Amino acid sequence: MIRDRETVEKKLRVMVEGGKEKLMVISDFDYTLSRYEDSLGKRCWTTHGVFDNCSKSVDPELALKLQKLKEKYFPVEFDPKLTLEQKVPYMEEWQVPVCFFLFHYLIVFP
């Protein structure tokens, strides 16, 4: 079930034509697949960490928006006094503007 099949096919063609050398997939949000720290003991970035840190060079306005959202929701995510059920609505609320900003500022198809 694809709402706009033509657009999806166009985007997929662009990715295929660009080649695997230009394709980057970021899929690990919480160290499930990636390492927590590198071989030197330095903490690695989560997926959101990649966007948080790299957005500064792409668009300072985006970096500021992401930082404000992180300041609001990050403490909730790791609050030991809250249950998972209490945290989930906040995490869902957090992801909506983050996804919007990332697509608006970073995800570009020719």
- Enter the tokens of residue 3: 């709402």
Is residue 28 among the annotated active site residues? yes
- Choose the catalytic residue: 28, 38, 52, 59: 28
* pLDDT 10s digits, 90-102: 999 999 999 888 8
Is residue 79 among the annotated active site residues? no
DSSP 22: G
- CATH number for the domain whose boundaries are 5-105: 1.10.150.340
Work out the percent of the chain whose per-residue pLDDT is above 90. 31
Q: Is the pLDDT of residue 40 over 90?
A: yes
Work out the percent of the chain whose per-residue pLDDT is above 70. 86
- Choose the catalytic residue: 30, 38, 52, 59: 30
Q: Which pLDDT score is estimated for 7?
A: 85
Q: Where are the domains of the chain?
A: 5-105
* pLDDT 10s digits, 1-33: 567 888 888 888 888 888 888 777 766 666 776
